[in-house]
Amino acid sequence: MKLHYFPSPEETNTLSTEQLRARFMISGLFQPGAISAHYTDLDRMITGAALPTTTPLTLPSAKETGTAFFLERREIGILNVGDAGTVRVGGTAYALGNLDCLYIGLGEKEVSFENGPTGQAQFFYISTPAHAKHPTAVVRRADIRTDPIGDNAKANRRRINKLIHPDGVKSCQLVMGFTEFEPGSLWNTMPPHTHSRRTEIYLYFDLGDNLVFHFMGEPDKTRHLVIRDREAILSPAWSIHCGAGTGAYRFIWAMGGDNQVFTDMDAVPLPALR
């Protein structure tokens, strides 16, 4: 498991492009036949991916959590961004199709990932600390009903699909979902915002050969990162997080922090951006 510790806003303003990428971006999450894991100081969130091949992969124990097994004091959200596969929780198998989500509460000792018939299952996960157990639950892509928001004239018409949240699948701290865009729209979260009470992790995916220019930093000292398919961004509470793509894309968002109120954010007016 790789550890990630974040620079202060003042230090961030001095970083080169490569240093910025090393501190705030994760590449190489999806490795065939392996589980990757990155422990961050963003509300102690752990993120990673599992790509089973011919044999199942088991969610590992890790010294970094200080517990006997991974979910002893944690919960986890798993989204399949590939073809069909299966996640086993104890003795129960959960078949997950593309963009199906599985929530697993604390206390589950055995979690494993298995490939499906095409051999292309790709599981992305986010885990946060938890203090109480909530039941394991599945959110099916086919069951999500989300009205679009945004404005075609501003190229930000999109659907925000909430998967793990107070009005849906319940959790202790984790809030998770994914955003997808209407044809011709490329901007996400514009105008931008911060939320000092919560931190966030993004995974950009289904980009193909397109790029996303992800904007971060303090509102009056913005920086940017060039993102490719299946690369993740770590977003501290003081940073804006918005982006624009050269073509169609989706992104997963997941948050941990003081509350689970999706609308609890501090808007940044466009004139304040620098």
Average pLDDT over residues 166-181: 93
Q: What band does 127 get if pLDDT is binned at 50, 70 and 90? A: very high
Task: Output the DSSP codes for the chain.
Answer: -EEE-PPPHHHHTT--HHHHHHHHEE-----BT-EEEEEESSTT-EEEEEB--SS-EEPPP-GGGTSSSTTSSEEEEEEE-SS-EEEEETTEEEEE-TT-EEEE-TT---EEEEE-TTS---EEEEEEE-SS----EEE-GGG-----BS-GGGT--EEEEEEESTTSB--SS-EEEEEEE-TT--EES-S-EE-TTEEEEEEEE--TT--EEEEEEETTEEEEEEE-TTEEEEE-TTS--EEEESS--EEEEEEEES---TT--EE--GGG--
What is the 3-state secondary structure of 77-146?
EEEECCCCEEEEECCEEEEECCCCEEEECCCCCCEEEEECCCCCCCEEEEEEECCCCCCCEEECHHHCCC
pLDDT digits (tens, 9 = 90+) for 4-18: 998 999 999 999 999
Q: Which domains does the chain have, with CATH numbers?
A: 2-13+26-141 (2.60.120.10), 148-272 (2.60.120.10)
**Can you give the pLDDT at residue 263?**
75
Integer Cα distance of 54 and 215 in angstroms: 39
Residue 215 clears pLDDT 80, i.e. is over it: yes
**Can you give the pLDDT at residue 187?**
93
**Can you give the pLDDT at residue 193?**
86
Of 232, 238, 229, the closest CA to residue 208 belongs to 229
pLDDT digits (tens, 9 = 90+) for 33-77: 999 999 999 999 999 999 999 999 999 887 888 899 999 999 999
Integer Cα distance of 235 and 75 in angstroms: 20
Note if the pTM is more than 0.85. Answer: yes
User: Average pLDDT, whole number, for the chain?
Assistant: 93
Q: What band does 206 get if pLDDT is binned at 50, 70 and 90? A: very high
Among 79-88, 127-136, 146-155, 235-244, where is mean pLDDT lowest?
146-155
**Can you give the pLDDT at residue 61?**
83
Residue 92: phi and psi, rounded to 5, are -110, 130
